[in-house]
Amino acid sequence: MSGTLAEELLVIARGAARAGALILDDSVGAHVSVTAKSELGDVVTDVDRRAERTIRSYINARRPDDAITGEEYDATGDGAATYRWSIDPLDGTSNFVAGIPYFGSSVAVQETASGSWVAGAVNAPALRQEYYARAGAGAWLTSRGSTVNLAGADTSSGAILFGTGFSYSREMRARQFTDLPLYMEHFTDVRSVGSAALGLCMAAEGSTSAFVETDLYEFDWAAGALIAEEAGLTVVRPRSHRGGIWAHSPHVPLTILDAPHVG
């Protein structure tokens, strides 16, 4: 793939995530229709659906032959598509409903033949932060007019923070709580922001030294994992559509054996 095409795909990913984030931002404080999904606390709103339609339209207008998979609607396109987009229109829905600012739109694009992720963006409108990355080129954070390269954690302060998230499934959540002490010998404290996409981005920018979460879908981690990887973190993606993600800075002595139920 040429660098020009990869850059074009990154521009589209950023634009699509920004388009979704504008829907989220415009809906903050407004009346939102909330519907329960599979488990207690797992909800979807009319804003999720509206943002996904907006993101899909944005991509389709620029890449009509590409496939698209997302959280709220059926996949479009076919197996012959050269590229496939994975979108989460509102990652952190529970935060959004509760008025907590850790939510955003996540968009990533994959080359279907190789399975390689090419570009990704996560736009968090309430935080005024945009994270994005292109494979082999790096990862960046743009916030309030300033852009910085992402390079993971600096542990000179002595704080080595572990980022994670918890499942809506009571059974899975109990397992996650049981696993937590196995990780903590490497860390000084734990953080959970309620969004896997932003959890991975926080590890990429160095707010935390690692992010591990089980029981995720691809759209939860697709963009964030590439951003973390391009920031220099070690990333292990799930082997199936649903599974766990594992990302850590090189200074953290983790191995996959320390991350039960991941992959």
Q: Which residues are annotated as a binding site?
A: 71, 88, 90-91, 220
Task: Output DSSP code: residue 217.
Answer: E
Residue with tokens 């388009």: 19
Neighbours of 1 (CB within 10 A): 14
Cα 247 to Cα 23, 30, 63, 126: the distances in Å are 29, 35, 30, 25
The three-state secondary structure class of 140 is strand
For residue 199, the number of C-alpha atoms closer than 13 Å in the C-beta half-sphere is 28
Strand ranges, E, within 7-154 = 34-36, 43-45, 67-70, 83-91, 104-111, 117-124, 129-134, 138-143, 146-149
Sign of CA dihedral 28, 31, 36, 37: negative
CA atoms within 13 A on the CB side of 217: 11
Closest C-alpha among 96, 43, 91 to residue 195: 91
Residue 247, beta-bridge partner list: 211, 235
Compute the CA torsion angle 148, 111, 17, 32 (nearest 10 deg). -140
Of 84, 82, 38, 94, which Cα lies nearest the Cα of 59?
84
Could you tell me which residues are annotated as the binding site for Mg(2+)?
Answer: 71, 88, 90-91, 220
Using DSSP bridges, classify how beta strands 83-91 and 104-111 pair: parallel, antiparallel or unpaired. Answer: antiparallel
Q: What SS3 state is found at 167?
A: coil
